[in-house]
Chain A
């Protein structure tokens, strides 16, 4: 589609509101071919719905009710779970604060947000949860609203946001791991969805600087630097993640001196970082290429040194261009953490398998995997939608 702006006279006529029959005639039965397609689609939908109903009639959801906590926090000590509740609370508050500059200004948009909150409240009350979980969830949504309101009242906070996010990271780790006045929890207890999220976030943060360095190395005019970076990127991108994780889990301990035996979590993160860095380098390539040469030359003319030009002028602009692509990379990394279940780490997929190993719930594969799939889906889908919004708002700003 061409993106040329249409002048008033060229603009398409406003769509005419159609009644049901006319709409169906236009969208479903406008030619014999389309009528046949519609027929096939209806048969497919009928078969799908019938299959789903037969399955639902014999599905047993007890396996989820009993193990609900296991899916989210795994084997984390129950009396300390309140610490984990604080994490979404923190994220919700910061998220509300960061979301407020993007808030819709129209009355309808605000109404939409209010309805969303209301629906969330109804959902929380309708789902079979314990009362403490309901209270926590409502409190978290309240915090998001407070953050949102604060952001509206004090717009100056927006410039502090990146630092607040960075600062929240050690706080989250402290809440999970304990120490410094909190009871410490061993890393083998960090399981379930908690571990999935932790692995994905930590790995992308560690992989990012490595990816930028690799890409800069590949574009460098020093032949040794260039060939080493290219070699790394191409080899890693030619291997399946499971192969890299095999190297990280099995080979890494062998490569290190005997006194150092990293625990499986560290090895997993190492594997994910090695893998993602190569892909992030590829993502950054597009971003750095999109910055006009004039930007760098102008900075040099002002007397900035090469590293400073890169750090202050080129990288921030490139970053804004590739943010959607980085989110995309994060989504695939988030999905890829499931592979660690093969190496017996108990993240979300691993938890599903250990739930299925319980003798009383043998064979309830469909229920468990559908639930885990739905959890993954909620995160991936909302992130991709958010990144699409970001892309659109970024494009309109310039």
Chain B
């Protein structure tokens, strides 16, 4: 193409795009002026106004008299909580199912196949509705609670689990462990070339010594068990309470994403050349060691890129929490929009939040990915 046309074409496209955006902006301002009786100006000043709505669960203290900005922060933290728990659970489930798909145990293989093929082909939203309405809300009231062994209570208003709780000694323990960990890491790093058993022992000894020191200072263990207790048959206190909404969104997300991760793991393992299996087996390694130390580390290189895609999908799909009434950042922005009539600002909050989450996740995974891949000359 001649140079003139190249420049002219691109200039024309640019004018077209800018013109369209300008036109849309013009329409938008005209429409907004028409709609609202009072002249609300575009902008984020309103974030300081009182939110006036209640939020079911919050990681930081929140009440309706707090500002919209704080409400959005609460939503963001709730989203991050779901994403973090979901990624851990989905990975566990998916890797297990993916390896089970290749097991030489016929029954296990078929169960894994059944799980993957059934749940992958049903929309996540429908599964969330099912988990929420047909499962977690179908438990009896607190008075007639179901009890599982180990003081786990299942009720309509939530699930109570025993959990570890921080004590006054936790801080001291944490500081000692950080010092011990850094020291051990330093020892291991210095001795990297001549990694002998006693180096590892030294490092271990450093941690043990500092743990003893912490015990000496505080006379207590770092964490204590917090077991839920029934009070007067009407109330359950203590332990970790999971709301039905949180339980539904995390279960649904991890079960659904787990099916995709299982497929990723399976095909990653199958991509490792057969000779690797045979070579490892002929060295006399047991099947589990072959999988753990020879096959899986190699498969990881193939697995990571598609796996990171699944994590991104999980993060984006966490916005479906709105369907089961879990107050995530999308749901809060949506109620903010319906209360103040500010769709533009709500849209911007949603866009910026999710783009930031996606970007951060993919940067983190890329960093890890780089450390796993083969360094080629």
Q: Are B274 and A1 in contact, with the CB atoms below 8 A?
A: yes
Which of chain A's residues 245-286 have a Cβ closer than 8 Å to chain B?
Answer: 246-247, 250-251, 253-258
Chain B residues lying within 8 Å of A239, measured Cβ to Cβ, are: 316, 350-351, 354-355, 358
Q: Are B351 and A243 in contact, with the CB atoms below 8 A?
A: yes
Which of A228, A257, A356, A376 interacts with B123 by CB under 8 Å? A376
Contact A338 B351, CB 8 Å, known A27-B104, A37-B105, A377-B118: no
Chain B residues lying within 8 Å of A240, measured Cβ to Cβ, are: 316-320, 330, 354
Smallest CB-CB separation from A370: which chain B residue?
B130
| CB of B185 closer than 8 Å to a CB of A | no
Q: Are B125 and A258 in contact, with the CB atoms below 8 A?
A: no
Chain B residues lying within 8 Å of A369, measured Cβ to Cβ, are: 126, 129-130, 133-134
Measured between C-beta atoms, what is the minimum distance from B362 to chain A in Å? 9
Which of chain B's residues 291-342 have a Cβ closer than 8 Å to chain A?
Answer: 316-320, 322-323, 330, 334, 337
Which among A76-84, A95-103, A218-226 touches the partner chain?
A218-226
Q: Are B347 and A250 in contact, with the CB atoms below 8 A?
A: yes
Chain B contact surface mostly? helix
Chain B residues lying within 8 Å of A34, measured Cβ to Cβ, are: 104-105
- 0/1 per residue, B1-17, Cβ < 8 Å to A? 00000100111011001
Chain B residues lying within 8 Å of A370, measured Cβ to Cβ, are: 130
Which of A28, A38, A224, A377 interacts with B121 by CB under 8 Å? A377
> How far, in angstroms, from A42 to B355 measured CA to CA in the complex?
45
Q: Are A256 and B27 in contact, with the CB atoms below 8 A?
A: yes
Q: Are B316 and A37 in contact, with the CB atoms below 8 A?
A: no
Name which of B124, B317, B319 has the most chain A CB atoms within 10 A of its CB.
B319
| CB of B111 closer than 8 Å to a CB of A | yes
- 0/1 per residue, B252-291, Cβ < 8 Å to A? 0000000000000000001001110000000000001000
Q: Are B28 and A243 in contact, with the CB atoms below 8 A?
A: no
| CB of A165 closer than 8 Å to a CB of B | no
Q: Are A243 and B108 in contact, with the CB atoms below 8 A?
A: no
Chain A residues lying within 8 Å of B123, measured Cβ to Cβ, are: 335-336, 338, 349, 373, 376
Smallest CB-CB separation from B318: which chain A residue?
A240
> How far, in angstroms, from A237 to B129 measured CA to CA in the complex?
25
Q: Are A38 and B27 in contact, with the CB atoms below 8 A?
A: no
| CB of A179 closer than 8 Å to a CB of B | no
| CB of A238 closer than 8 Å to a CB of B | yes
Which among B30-38, B143-151, B171-179, B368-376 touches the partner chain?
B30-38
| CB of B359 closer than 8 Å to a CB of A | yes
Which of A33, A42, A251, A352 interacts with B344 by CB under 8 Å? A251
> How far, in angstroms, from A245 to B54 measured CA to CA in the complex?
25
Q: Are A376 and B126 in contact, with the CB atoms below 8 A?
A: yes
Which of chain B's residues 33-54 have a Cβ closer than 8 Å to chain A?
Answer: 34
Q: Are B354 and A228 in contact, with the CB atoms below 8 A?
A: no
| CB of B103 closer than 8 Å to a CB of A | yes
| CB of B60 closer than 8 Å to a CB of A | no
Contact A255 B28, CB 8 Å, known A247-B347, A372-B126: yes
Smallest CB-CB separation from B319: which chain A residue?
A240
Smallest CB-CB separation from A2: which chain B residue?
B274
| CB of B127 closer than 8 Å to a CB of A | yes
> How far, in angstroms, from A37 to B104 measured CA to CA in the complex?
11
| CB of A357 closer than 8 Å to a CB of B | no
Name which of A37, A224, A228, A253 has the most chain B CB atoms within 10 A of its CB.
A224
Q: Are B122 and A235 in contact, with the CB atoms below 8 A?
A: no
- 0/1 per residue, B342-371, Cβ < 8 Å to A? 011011001100110011000000000000
| CB of B107 closer than 8 Å to a CB of A | yes
Contact A373 B103, CB 8 Å, known A238-B358, A239-B316, A342-B323: no
Smallest CB-CB separation from A228: which chain B residue?
B17
> How far, in angstroms, from A42 to B108 measured CA to CA in the complex?
9
| CB of A45 closer than 8 Å to a CB of B | yes
- 0/1 per residue, A343-379, Cβ < 8 Å to B? 0000001001100100000000110011011001100
Contact A341 B334, CB 8 Å, known A255-B27, A365-B134: no
Chain B residues lying within 8 Å of A222, measured Cβ to Cβ, are: 6, 9-10
Q: Are A254 and B125 in contact, with the CB atoms below 8 A?
A: no
Q: Are A238 and B343 in contact, with the CB atoms below 8 A?
A: no
Q: Are A365 and B133 in contact, with the CB atoms below 8 A?
A: yes
| CB of B225 closer than 8 Å to a CB of A | no
Measured between C-beta atoms, what is the minimum distance from B308 to chain A in Å? 13
Contact A228 B134, CB 8 Å, known A240-B330, A254-B343: no
Which of B108, B117, B134, B274 interacts with A37 by CB under 8 Å? B108
Which of B30, B105, B346 interacts with A41 by CB under 8 Å? B105
Chain A residues lying within 8 Å of B274, measured Cβ to Cβ, are: 1-2
| CB of A44 closer than 8 Å to a CB of B | yes
Contact A254 B105, CB 8 Å, known A240-B330, A370-B130: no
> How far, in angstroms, from A150 to B107 measured CA to CA in the complex?
44
| CB of B198 closer than 8 Å to a CB of A | no
Q: Are A41 and B125 in contact, with the CB atoms below 8 A?
A: no
Q: Are B13 and A41 in contact, with the CB atoms below 8 A?
A: no
| CB of B24 closer than 8 Å to a CB of A | yes
Chain B residues lying within 8 Å of A33, measured Cβ to Cβ, are: 288
Contact A238 B133, CB 8 Å, known A251-B344, A338-B123: no
Chain A residues lying within 8 Å of B124, measured Cβ to Cβ, are: 335, 338
Q: Are A254 and B118 in contact, with the CB atoms below 8 A?
A: no
Chain B residues lying within 8 Å of A372, measured Cβ to Cβ, are: 126
> How far, in angstroms, from A222 to B17 measured CA to CA in the complex?
15
Can you report 25 residue pairs joining A to B where beta carbons are below 8 Å apart? A1-B274, A28-B107, A37-B107, A222-B9, A222-B10, A224-B10, A224-B13, A225-B10, A246-B330, A246-B334, A246-B347, A250-B343, A254-B27, A257-B27, A258-B31, A335-B123, A339-B125, A349-B126, A365-B129, A366-B138, A369-B129, A369-B133, A373-B130, A376-B121, A380-B120
Sorted from nearest, which 8 A-B pairs have the closest CB atoms?
A: A380-B121, A240-B316, A27-B106, A224-B10, A365-B134, A338-B123, A238-B358, A335-B123
A41-B111, A257-B27 given; 7 more Cβ-contact pairs under 8 Å: A34-B105, A41-B107, A240-B317, A242-B322, A243-B351, A258-B27, A377-B122
